[in-house]
Each structure stands twice: as structure tokens, then as C-alpha cells.
Amino acid sequence: MFPTPWYEHAGPQGPFSEVYEPAEDTFLLLDALDQDAGKLRSANIEICLEVGSGSGVISTFVASLIESKAFYICTDINPAAGLCTVETAIRNKVDIQPIITDLVESHGIEAAWAGGKNGREVMDRLFPVVSDLLSTRGLFYLVTVKENNPDEIIEILQKYGLKGTKAICRRAGSENLAVLRFCKS
């Protein structure tokens, strides 16, 4: 198990109190990425993208896990999240480039991940572009709750040429969380 990045500055007590603090969904995604460490390391990743970086813990974890010279980008609509992500990266000695924007506009991504609240508004807007963003060896990770209907998401992304599986599932309080993993068919 690779260690969780340092992030004490994020959350209600820190200077970035308005940034999403790592919680059960974050740690489940870290577990899924750690479980896939071999796949990620052997993929020769050149570009990584995180959609909705919040504290930057996920991108920092991946940058530390892969230990490659990949270009790490993350997006968030919240400017404070961009600053928090930079702080997380600096404290953990990795280089991440946050972009303050809504979703993404790029191509050739080798690894990407996104989360969502009880609805799928943001996810549904992202689904049509995922296949275009991924390289042929790319992986896309998506954190879902039961209410997002993960099986339906797998079917939707299959229509866009992506093969999906449940990488890891866990109950956290009243939520049933799952991390879905996709690659090009």
C-alpha cells in the first residue's frame, strides 16, 4: 500500500476550508489506484488528468505512485481548489498543473478520473468526451455511488467505445461506493 499524500491544509480547519476534504470516496479511489499500480507504471503514461481535483490528493498520489515524468493536469471550477492542489503537490514533492475550468478540453490523456455527487449531471456531461480524451492505452477511473447507477454508466460508456469494470466496491456509512475502470475497447 502506497502512503496517502499529506493534505492537512485541506478541510474545515485549514486555510482551504472551502475545498472538498478527502473522504471515503477519495480513499476508495486511492485504494483502486494502488491496486492498479503495476498497470499504471507499465503504461508509460505521458499525460494524466484529474477532473475535479479538490484537495489534489488523487493527482498527488498518482504522481507519487507512477514515479514517471508524466505531465499531471487537473481541473476544478473552484479557484481555491487549484491553490490547494498546488500546496498538496509542493508538500508531497510532485509537480501538478491545476487549471481553473469546468470539465476538460484536451486530447491524448492516458489516465483520468472523476467523481460525482448523488446525481450524475457532471458525469453525464463528461461521458461523451472521455473516449476522445483517452489514448489507446489510457485508463479512466470514475467514483460512483449506488444512486449513480454504475451498471448503467458502464453501458453508456460502452456506446462510446470504452470497456468498463468495477475495480473496487465498498460500503461507507449509508453510501455504496464503487470505482469503475474503463479502457478503450
Residue 2 belongs to some domain of the structure: no
Residue 32 belongs to some domain of the structure: yes
∠ Cα 71 76 80 (to 5°): 110
CA nearest to 54, candidates 104, 86, 8, 19: 19
Task: Name residue 94's amino acid.
Answer: V
Residue 18 belongs to some domain of the structure: no
Query: Which DSSP category does 6 fall into?
Result: P
Residue 36 belongs to some domain of the structure: yes
Residue 146, all three cell numbers: 449506488
Residue 37 belongs to some domain of the structure: yes
Domain count, the chain: 1
Residue 11 belongs to some domain of the structure: no
Chain-centre distance for alpha carbon 112: 6
Residue 111 belongs to some domain of the structure: yes
Contacts of residue 111, Cβ cutoff 8 Å, sequence gap at least 6: 40, 43, 45, 48, 49, 62, 138, 139, 140, 141
Residue 86 belongs to some domain of the structure: yes
**Residue 129 sits in a domain of what CATH number?**
3.40.50.150
> What is the per-residue pLDDT for 119?
64
Walk along the chain (185 residues) and give the pLDDT tens digit of each residue: 789 999 988 878 778 888 988 999 999 999 999 999 999 998 888 999 999 899 999 999 999 998 878 999 999 989 999 999 999 999 999 999 999 987 655 444 445 555 444 468 778 888 999 999 899 989 999 999 999 999 999 999 999 999 999 999 999 888 899 999 999 98
92 close to 105: Cβ distance less than 8 angstroms: no
For residue 71, what are the domain limits?
A: 24-184
CA nearest to 107, candidates 135, 76, 128: 135
Alpha helices (H) in the chain, listed in sequence order:
24-35, 37-42, 57-66, 79-91, 121-133, 150-159
> What is the per-residue pLDDT for 104?
55
> What is the per-residue pLDDT for 166?
97
